Amino acid sequence: MRIFLINPPNKKFISANVPVYISDSNLPPLGLLYIATVLKQNPKHSVKICDAAINKLSYEQIARQAASYDAIGITVVTFLLPDVVEIVKAIRKINKAVPIILGGPHLAVYPKESIGLEGVTYCLSGECDSSFIKLIEALSNNNEGFESIPGLHWIENGEIKSNTKGEFIDDLDQLPIPDRRLLDYKMYSSILSHSDSKTHLTTTMFSSRGCPYECIFCDRPSMGKRFRYHSPGRIIAEIEDCISLGIDEIIFYDDTFTIIAERVREICELILQKGLEIKWDIRARVNNISYDLLSLMKKAGCSRIHLGVESGNDEVLKTLKKGITRKLAKEAFGNAHKAGLETLGYFMFGCPNETLSQMQDTLDFALELNPNYAHFSVLTPYPGTPVYLNALKEGLFEKDYWREYSKNPDTNFIPKVMPNTLPREELIGILKRAYKKFYMRPNYILKQMAKVNSWSDLSRKASIAGKILAGKR
């Protein structure tokens, strides 16, 4: 079979989002790469990935490219559901019969609602690395074996049919190294500036999946709570493959890279032993990193660490079940800076029962920690998260509005904020002021100007500064 995999563009929903000035949208669709790599191992199948986001394709352009294929897969995140609907409509105008398969994070929460969308043939919940291939094999064999495909949803005789819950893969090393040659990987460059003058070819990598922590706002339920990980040797093999392509920056997209410190040490030691020249960024928690570990990571090429702080108030941190304190955050940022690592701190406003004074604590704390970059957001109770489910149970929302949105994706839909905090308009005003307060500091601007290494870097920073000053997205 000839399979066409689509990473949707974001054309419909962008106006409903709150302002974001540092984005990681210029990254390859790694989930599709895993699936495509497995598919192409079977000579009976050929596969094409369409990254409509980075190529800025219209729905009609996507549909024309997909027209001649035997099956189409589309990855779905909640915010892009309206775009997915438009893609399906455009495809159906050209091809009424081709199987259209939806998978991705949104399907972990609302698979039955998604299978009801017009033009959709199948939905897969859970990790699709294996189940998508099983579905393709079933389609190749006159639909035999549907019952054995985990997480499969389809409509038969007007009724929704569902198999067992989607699977999570225990042994990640059984998955092949994603073949980044299936994409125009040279289009993916570094998001944030570096001290050198190079343009860094960038990719993402998962060294693990799942997170055992209990943060009530976490919007990645599709990865599960069970921590599963690649062996250090397998990670090194993938890094070497990236280097062979000229890629020199890797963003590890693990929820928390440093859960097992000894595994991180072994990865670093192997990088140093092999003399691999690679920059890499990670996401971590402030309560499971030490100065010694950070120093070793720096020696092995780690350049930046992303740390979720969320709040500068210990009472709010307890409400969020973050499992950290202000003291731990201060120690972590201090150790990271001492080790020579750049830091990106995540902070949010609008937590349950949060007051204006507590939000000011967060902004003050962000300035005190002084990360190289700060990402501010408004807490959105996403589908499937404990904060949303608890709010429904407590009657804070009249109905499951995410479920209604999933049945009928409305481009005018605006995500709600927690009802037991400030109104949305006030929270967005606080968010914009926080960005201005952090990034418009004279000392910060001088430091950033000193690091400008090219006209493109200057242009990018000037564009961001203009948006912040104008209070726009």
Cβ contacts of 327 within 8 Å, gap of 6 or more: none
Structure tokens belonging to residue 116: 């009801």
The letter for the amino acid at 197 is S
Residue matched to tokens 């003291």: 327
Among candidates 165, 282, 169, which has minimal Cα distance to 227?
Answer: 169
pLDDT tens series, the chain, 473 aa: 999 999 999 876 644 444 444 444 578 999 999 999 999 999 999 999 999 999 999 999 999 999 999 999 999 998 899 999 999 999 999 999 999 999 998 998 899 999 999 999 999 998 888 899 999 999 988 777 777 899 999 988 888 888 877 788 899 999 999 999 999 988 887 655 555 555 678 899 999 999 889 999 987 766 677 899 999 999 999 999 999 999 999 999 999 999 999 999 999 999 999 999 999 999 999 999 999 999 999 999 999 999 999 999 999 999 999 999 999 999 999 999 999 999 999 999 999 999 999 999 999 999 999 999 999 999 999 998 999 999 999 999 989 999 999 999 987 888 899 999 999 999 999 999 999 999 999 988 887 777 666 555 555 555 555 555 555 54
* Helices marked H in 23-143: 30-39, 59-66, 81-94, 111-115, 128-140
Separation between Cα atoms, residue 80 and residue 12, nearest integer Å: 7
Half-sphere exposure of 236 (CA within 13 A, CB side): 18
Residue matched to tokens 């005190």: 368
Separation between Cα atoms, residue 51 and residue 7, nearest integer Å: 5
| pLDDT confidence of residue 11 | 75
| pLDDT confidence of residue 192 | 54
Q: What angle do CA 421, 425, 426 make, to 5 degrees?
A: 55
| pLDDT confidence of residue 473 | 44
Predicted TM-score (pTM) of this structure = 0.90
φ, ψ for residue 26 (rounded to 5)?
A: -90, 55
Using CA atoms in the order 134, 138, 139, 140, what is the torsion angle rounded to 10 degrees? 100
Contact criterion met (CB below 8 Å) for 329 and 320: no
